[in-house]
Amino acid sequence: MSTDRRRYRKTFFAWMIFFGICFLALVGYVASIPYFSPELPQVELNDVQWQTYTNSKLGFAFDYPDAYNLDTSEDDDVAFRLDGSNLIVISHLTQQQADSRGLWADHKPVEDIELDGRAGKKYDYNHFDIFAGVHTISYVVPYKQKFLAIEFRTRRASVFESLGIKPRYDRELNEVEKKMLASFRFEE
């Protein structure tokens, strides 16, 4: 092999390594942003005006702060958003559907719960979409041949958490979320 060709190969590989490191650094930076800024928007309990969402198709009702935007564009999902962030999602799906979406089904429950008289499970996990995700607390009960899940998104989560880097904090439900959960009722 000629000297010029060897020099070209060394230079080419050096540049490839350099660009690879730059790419990984960029991905790491983007993925770590939630780690340094884990807050999701919240409302204070004493500032809340309450509204009721009723889902007559599935037969349940739920009180929520009027500051939240309601999104019912998904088939059997209802999302409550604040400043563009999904804070609460109510889903009606099979265990396989939940598993394929990376939701509660592929996690171990942390405790038994009761939701308006129905026995179920509580899940506490991080839900990831590519490099970042959200810490989620889900309350899941069997309902109409599927599962009904109320998912509270409590903070942003970084992909670095899957590598063993601990988050700055985890939290349970705040007072607004507790009141929302307590207001949930089946209306069959």
Query: What's the whole-model pTM score?
Result: 0.76
Across the range 77-106, mean pLDDT stands at 87
User: H or E element: which one contains 32?
Assistant: helix 3-36
Domains of the chain (ranges plus CATH)?
37-186 (2.60.120)
Give dist(CA 100, CA 152) in Å, integer: 19
Give dist(CA 133, CA 151) in Å, integer: 14
Query: 97-138 pLDDT, tens per residue?
Result: 998 888 888 899 999 999 999 999 999 988 877 666 788 899
CB 77 within 8 A of CB 58: no
Q: In what order do the strands lie in the sheet with 60-65?
A: 50-55, 60-65, 185-186
CB 179 within 8 A of CB 45: yes
